[in-house]
Amino acid sequence: MNKVDVVVLAAGKGTRMNSSLPKVLHKLAGRTLLQHVISTVNCVSDCRIIVITGHQAEAVEKFHAQRNCIFVRQSEQLGTAHAVAMSLPYIRDLSNVVILYGDVPLVSLSTIEKMIEAVKEGQMGLLTAEKHNPSGYGRIVSNEEGSIESIVEQSDATPNQLKITEVNTGVMAMNSSQLKNWVPQIRNSNKKNEYYLTDIIEIARLNGCFIKRIQPNSNIEVEGVNNREQLSRLERSYQKYLANEFMLAGNSIADPDRFDQRGKLKTGFDNYIDVNCIFEGEVQLGNNISIGPNCHIINSIIDDCVEIKANSIVDSSRIKSGAIVGPFARLRPGTLIGEGSSVGNFVEIKKTTVGHGSKVNHLTYLGDAKIGPRANIGAGAITCNYDGSKKHETTIGENVFVGSNTTLVAPIALSDNSFVAAGSTVTTSVAQGQLAVGRAQQRNVTGWKPPKNS
Ligand code: UD1
Ligand code: CA
């Protein structure tokens, strides 16, 4: 019996978030709470994923539509057992079933696999955790030998039960026939008149099933998110965990408390990250890279020995080895910076290739341009790529010198070894080796008298 059906509960409103957004659409490390759960489950082999939606179901389903899940609606949120009941028609015979909560986002694959193992051994698996402050969680009631007897929700617990520090994480596993037999037996006779999935534990025990206690590898796996304070605390502890992974792989971080990874970060080693950098989407780093403070790197590839100086933004771009970017540079999507090139302060580059060894060091906008190797683009040079309706390209060959404060009106080409005088407005292409001067002639007026004060 190797089939696995995973049920993810995501129908609740998340009242305690005080938000117009459903709770599972709130983000942790740049991904929705539900995305975290689904992408972990995607790694379970031979697995069907059933997501129970309800509150703002359309929004939740639309956001996760590309994921390979079956969405099942729970039209009224009558409790976690009622939510699981909605999944029963989609649970396959002879499968191992794992129940996960959309608001417990960081359960790991290895923990899920341990749960499945317990089911294969004929037991039921329950993921529990020790908490100094168990407030808000269901408490695990055990007998004298320490075996699990039942779960009692906080609102129904006696003062003595409230002292129990072993809590229910919500994650449990059993075989499909047990689930199908036991869920319909759950009643709503509790303080909140909800159908509590937690009642299944007592039913299992009364049916002679042993409940195996499984513990997480790390505490962040079992943190539930019910309000924004818990969300922000989980964000920090998850970031600390990601920062540790990054450091243990052989990289340095100036301050792991000021490091943010919102997506996948592939890395070599001996990279150095200064404070307050954000890595978003899919970022790939080579080796020996230095990234200064306050940089935002999004969906980009950074090759070996690159230096990105303070306050730079690199979005959907590639920076080749040995290049220097920043401080205060902005690389927009589609930019390629060649080997050993330099891009300095207040430079914005979009959909542009900069050849190797070129310099764009100050106050420049380059858009829709192709720049050859060893070109020098002076301070204040601008490609006028937009005529109000269409975008046009600028081509600059190798070893071209573009003087300061030049406007290049695209479409235009500056051939190899050409030279543009400072302050020019260039509207026609320049051939190889030519000098282009496109500025008003200077007049020096002799005998000029300044205006007098009246
Ligand atoms: C639940 C557990 C509690 C556990 C805690 C762990 C129950 C009764 N209680 O409490 O023992 O310690 O999680 O985080 O299970 N949901 C639905 N439909 C519903 C109700 C809830 O889909 O009708 C979903 C919610 O969207 C959420 C999850 O189930 O993702 C848990 O619901 P929530 O109300 O947050 O339960 P807790 O009070 O946290
Ligand atoms: Ca919860």
Are 123 and 141 part of one and the same domain? yes
Domain boundary among 202, 222, 242: 222
What backbone phi and psi angles, to 5 degrees, belong to 265?
A: -125, 110
Binning pLDDT at 50, 70 and 90, where does residue 1 land? confident
Are 196 and 233 part of one and the same domain? no
What's the mean per-residue pLDDT of the chain?
A: 97
Are 384 and 319 part of one and the same domain? yes
Binning pLDDT at 50, 70 and 90, where does residue 68 land? confident
Q: Which residue, judged by its Cα, is nearest atom 37 of ligand 1?
A: 137
Q: Is the CB of 56 under 6 A from ligand 1?
A: no
Are 214 and 241 part of one and the same domain? no
Residue 306 belongs to some domain of the structure: yes
What's the Cα-to-Cα distance from 155 to each of 4, 13, 151, 191, 373, rounded to whole Å? 33, 19, 12, 7, 70
Read off the CATH number of the domain in which 404 is found.
2.160.10.10
Q: Is the CB of 167 under 6 A from ligand 1?
A: yes
Say how many Å lie between the CA of residue 37 and the centre of ligand 1.
15
Q: Two tokens at 429?
A: 């292409």
Q: Is the CB of 368 under 6 A from ligand 1?
A: no
**Ligand 1 pocket mutation pick from 17, 75, 103 by most atoms within 8 angstroms of CB:** 103
Mean pLDDT of the 56-66 span: 95
Q: Is the CB of 9 under 6 A from ligand 1?
A: yes
CA dihedral of residues 89, 93, 97, 103 (deg, nearest 10): -20
What backbone phi and psi angles, to 5 degrees, belong to 146?
A: 95, 0
| Rounded-to-integer distance, Cα 321 and Cα 305, Å | 6
| Rounded-to-integer distance, Cα 40 and Cα 217, Å | 15
Are 274 and 214 part of one and the same domain? no
Domain boundary among 171, 201, 222: 222
Q: Which amino acid is at 360?
A: V
| Rounded-to-integer distance, Cα 336 and Cα 326, Å | 15
Of the listed ligands, the closest to the CA of 33 is 1
Residue 22 CB neighbours (<10 A): 25
Q: Is the CB of 102 under 6 A from ligand 1?
A: yes
Say how many Å lie between the CA of residue 55 and the centre of ligand 1.
13
How does DSSP assign 172-207, residue by residue? EEEEHHHHHHHGGG----STT----GGGHHHHHHHT
pLDDT of residue 35: 97
Which residues in 89-165 belong to E strands, given as ranges? 96-101, 124-130, 139-142, 148-152
User: Long-range pairs for 335-342 at CB < 8 Å and ≥24 separation?
Assistant: 338/373, 339/303
Q: Is the CB of 44 under 6 A from ligand 1?
A: no
Largest CA distance in the chain: 111
Say how many Å lie between the CA of residue 48 and the centre of ligand 2.
23
| H/E element, 61 | helix 57-63
pLDDT of residue 453: 86
Q: Is the CB of 168 under 6 A from ligand 1?
A: yes
Are 265 and 341 part of one and the same domain? yes
Q: Which of 76, 98, 73 is nearest to 86 (CA)?
A: 73
Mean pLDDT of the 208-215 span: 97
Mean pLDDT of the 73-91 span: 97
Q: Is the CB of 195 under 6 A from ligand 1?
A: no
Q: Is 362 a catalytic residue?
A: yes
Question: Half-sphere exposure (CA, 13 Å, Cβ side) for 156?
Answer: 18
pLDDT of residue 454: 76
Q: Is the CB of 169 under 6 A from ligand 1?
A: yes
Residue 270 belongs to some domain of the structure: yes
| Rounded-to-integer distance, Cα 374 and Cα 338, Å | 10
CA dihedral of residues 206, 210, 211, 217 (deg, nearest 10): 180
Coil, strand or helix at 394: strand
Index of the ligand 1 atom closest to the CA of residue 103 = 30
Q: Which of 432, 433, 427 is nearest to 406 (CA)?
A: 427
Residue 392 belongs to some domain of the structure: yes
Q: Which of 345, 377, 340, 347 is nearest to 359 (CA)?
A: 377
Of the listed ligands, the closest to the CA of 51 is 1
Mean pLDDT of the 61-84 span: 95
pLDDT of residue 338: 98
| pLDDT 10s digits, 394-410 | 999 999 999 999 999 99
Task: Give the whole-number percent of the chain exceeding pLDDT 70.
Answer: 100
| pLDDT 10s digits, 262-309 | 999 999 999 999 999 999 999 999 999 999 999 999 999 999 999 999
Q: Given the structure tokens 């039913």, which residue do they identify? A: 203
Of the listed ligands, the closest to the CA of 152 is 1
Are 42 and 164 part of one and the same domain? yes
Binning pLDDT at 50, 70 and 90, where does residue 67 land? confident
Residue 427 belongs to some domain of the structure: yes
Of the listed ligands, the closest to the CA of 139 is 1
Q: Is the CB of 57 under 6 A from ligand 1?
A: no
pLDDT of residue 252: 98
Mean pLDDT of the 67-88 span: 96
Read off the CATH number of the domain in which 34 is found.
3.90.550.10
Q: Which residues lie closer than 8 Å to 108 by C-beta, 6 or more apart?
A: 40, 216, 217, 218, 221
| Rounded-to-integer distance, Cα 44 and Cα 40, Å | 8
Q: Is the CB of 105 under 6 A from ligand 1?
A: no
Say how many Å lie between the CA of residue 83 and the centre of ligand 1.
10
Q: Two tokens at 264?
A: 């996948």
Q: Which of 15, 216, 244 is nearest to 109 (CA)?
A: 216
Are 234 and 255 part of one and the same domain? yes
Please say whether the beta carbons of 4 and 95 come within 8 A.
yes
Are 148 and 244 part of one and the same domain? no
Structural domain including 357 reads 228-436
Q: Which residues lie closer than 8 Å to 66 by C-beta, 6 or more apart?
A: none
Residue 446 belongs to some domain of the structure: no
Residue 357 belongs to some domain of the structure: yes
Are 179 and 145 part of one and the same domain? yes
Residue 80 belongs to some domain of the structure: yes
Of the listed ligands, the closest to the CA of 10 is 1
Q: Is the CB of 80 under 6 A from ligand 1?
A: yes
Mean pLDDT of the 249-269 span: 98
Say how many Å lie between the CA of residue 113 and the centre of ligand 1.
22
Q: Which of 406, 404, 403, 411 is nearest to 429 (CA)?
A: 411
Say how many Å lie between the CA of residue 46 and the centre of ligand 2.
28
Q: Two tokens at 294?
A: 């306050």
Are 202 and 313 part of one and the same domain? no
Please say whether the beta carbons of 302 and 319 come within 8 A.
yes
Index of the ligand 1 atom closest to the CA of residue 169 = 6
Whether the predicted model's global pTM rises above the 0.75 cut = yes
pLDDT of residue 31: 97
Q: Two tokens at 451?
A: 């205006």
Q: Which residue, judged by its Cα, is nearest atom 29 of ligand 1?
A: 9
Residue 69 belongs to some domain of the structure: yes
What's the number of domains the chain is made of? 2
What's the Cα-to-Cα distance from 102 to each of 10, 36, 50, 157, 209, rounded to whole Å? 5, 9, 11, 24, 26
Residue 126 has pLDDT above 80, yes or no: yes
How does DSSP assign 355-396, residue by residue? -TT-EEEEEEEEESEEE-TT-EE-TT-EEE-B-SS-B--EEE
The interaxial angle of helices 33-41 and 109-120, nearest 10 deg, is 50
Say how many Å lie between the CA of residue 104 and the centre of ligand 2.
7
Q: Which residue, judged by its Cα, is nearest atom 22 of ligand 1?
A: 11
Of these residues, 55, 296, 362, 392, which one is catalytic? 362
Are 303 and 394 part of one and the same domain? yes
Q: Cα(first)–Cα(last) distance of the chain, in Å?
A: 101
Binning pLDDT at 50, 70 and 90, where does residue 66 land? confident
Say how many Å lie between the CA of residue 224 and the centre of ligand 1.
9
Query: What is the Rg, in whole angstroms, of the alpha carbon atoms belonging to the chain?
Result: 31
Residues with CB under 5 A from ligand 2 (ion): 103, 224, 226
